[in-house]
Chains A and B, each alone.
Chain A
Amino acid sequence: MNLLTDIFLAKAAFIGVVFAITLGIAAYSTYFERKIAAFMQDRIGPDRAGPFGILQPLADAVKMFMKEDFIPANSNKWLFIAGPCLSMLTALMTSAVVPFGDTVTVGGVTFDLQGIDVNIGILWVFGIVSLGVYGILIGGWASNNKYSLLGAIRAASQNISYELAMGLAIIAILLFTGSLSTKAIVEGQQNGHWNIFYQPLGFLIFIICAFAECNRTPFDLPECETELIGGYHTEYSSMKLGFYLFAEYINMFISGAVMATLYFGGYDYPGVDFVTAQFGSTVAGFVGMGALIGKALIFVFIFMWVRWTLPRFRYDQLMGLGWSGLIPLSMYNVVVTAFGILIGKPFTVGIAGFALLLVGLVVYDQLFVKKKIA
């Protein structure tokens, strides 16, 4: 019984499980996306493959693999193949630092339900998410197609624009926690002290940026059909296209998990002490993992819900919202949070700051915005 080997094996098993869960959820997100779209439009949705159509993702995968794998003659072949691979790789790497649960003991081995607890956890997420745009950019450029290139350029500029506001929103979280480690961030929120209560404005900014980072409606301009045919994946077919679409769903799930980690207490859930006392900390840890995945799935639902509610932004509106809307707002949020921590009353100052913002907006509106002539 070598402790090192045991922990290595346990971690490897855990990573495999997370991998499988992520891929399974991503596969079934395609099914639920279609189901949710159907329900919101008073339809039924896919119901032919198996009971309630639950075998639809399987049928889709078979279809994707069977289709002709076409590579355009004038494309850069290696980069064309590298694009979807890179998208998939970066989408899957993000989950390494998400703390899925507390410490558990299985078969005499005690380990954390987390891939790696690095002390720069949240920076890792940012780094990988920023790399994610390379998959789109390389794929779009290598297609040698103007629509693909335009889609790729849009994706790149959009991601850069919204990463700024996202980073600033996270700085407010870091001021609370004092650590970049995702584990420490979650541990700071245990027993219901979730960051959402202290950072509602920060969460709003973060979720808007998460939409933009995942290229989801209303920010799905890189694949805007009306203007760009298919955007960066115009030239893609078969499973390479499937990888791009799959990566989007993985990103949705992972960003849901990250949002749950940062703002909704991670694996915290009401009654954690009761479960620990009754069934021991291992069961509590696994229930926590379920809680985190449940929270992430709620965010996935919100992603889909918004997609079937809102129309797409115009490109200048997108840039306007990012640069002149969210970035000043998140800077204000950082200042208010810092002030609240300085005087030791983060909750009160947060509310006061929000009220001040609203008052300021109303005053600005009354003074400077031209009123409609009745």
Chain B
Amino acid sequence: MQLSNRKKVMEQGEMTLVERMYLPAIVGGMATTLKHFFSKPVTIRYPEQQRYLGPIFRGHHILKKDSEGAERCTACGLCAVACPAEAISMVAEERKPGEEKLYREEKYAKVYEINMLRCIFCGLCEEACPKEAIFLRHDQMVPVFSSRDEVIYGKDKLVEQMDQRYLRDGWK
């Protein structure tokens, strides 16, 4: 049975005289390597040089604040439900009077933790979020950790800092 017509029968006969002398082929091969010798290396010296990974690269998580500096997250738990790795957990708390500047919605996440050993950076939390609160930022990666104490990221590492706001390319 033939599924496609791409099958090609190769026939290997006796080599011709030029082929058996090998030298033309060797010269051709050496020309190829010499061409590459003078071509530009493709290496990126990683820690010093970093390649732009695109505007939708899924890197470090961030809990966005709105333009007034109030946290957007309302602790609905949809991100935790959506998470295939079950990396997200949170504790909700009701907003007290006088905290309107801190939290946008009437309910907020008192504790919001992501286990970075579990996270697979799929971005489903970002898609599930109805409040546009959690994002995976494109310009920063989760740093390497050496101890298990460092792997659970709380709000201290996740909430956006107002003096260095995260802007994704295309939002501007």
Contact = CB atoms under 8 A, between A and B. Distances in A.
Interface string A193-220: 0000000000000000000000000000
Interface stretch (B1-9, B32-40, B114-122, B129-137): B32-40
Interface stretch (B41-49, B56-64, B96-104, B159-167): B41-49
Interface residues of A, number: 22
Query: 9 closest Cβ contacts across the A-B interface?
Result: A372-B13, A365-B17, A309-B33, A44-B43, A40-B33, A309-B29, A39-B37, A44-B41, A309-B30
Nearest to A311: B29
B14 A372 contact: yes
Given A39-B36, A42-B40, 8 more contacts: A40-B33, A42-B36, A42-B43, A44-B43, A44-B45, A309-B32, A369-B17, A372-B11
A305 interface: yes
15 contacts: A39-B36, A40-B34, A40-B36, A42-B41, A42-B42, A44-B43, A47-B45, A305-B30, A305-B33, A305-B34, A309-B26, A309-B32, A309-B33, A310-B29, A361-B17
A67 interface: no
Interface string B17-34: 100010000100110111
A373 B13 contact: yes
Contacts of A43: 41-43
A308 B33 contact: yes
Interface in A295-313: 305-306, 308-310
A198 B29 CA distance: 27
Nearest to A369: B14
Nearest to B40: A42
A298 to B, nearest CB: 13
A306 B30 contact: yes
Contacts of A372: 11, 13-14
A36 B37 contact: yes
A41 B42 CA distance: 9
B23 to A, nearest CB: 8
Contacts of B42: 42-43
A39 B41 contact: yes
A217 B16 CA distance: 25
Contacts of A309: 26, 29-30, 32-33
B28 to A, nearest CB: 10
B147 to A, nearest CB: 28
A43 B42 CA distance: 6
A372 B17 CA distance: 12
A370 B32 CA distance: 31
Contacts of B41: 38-39, 42-44
A36 B43 CA distance: 15
Contacts of B43: 42-44
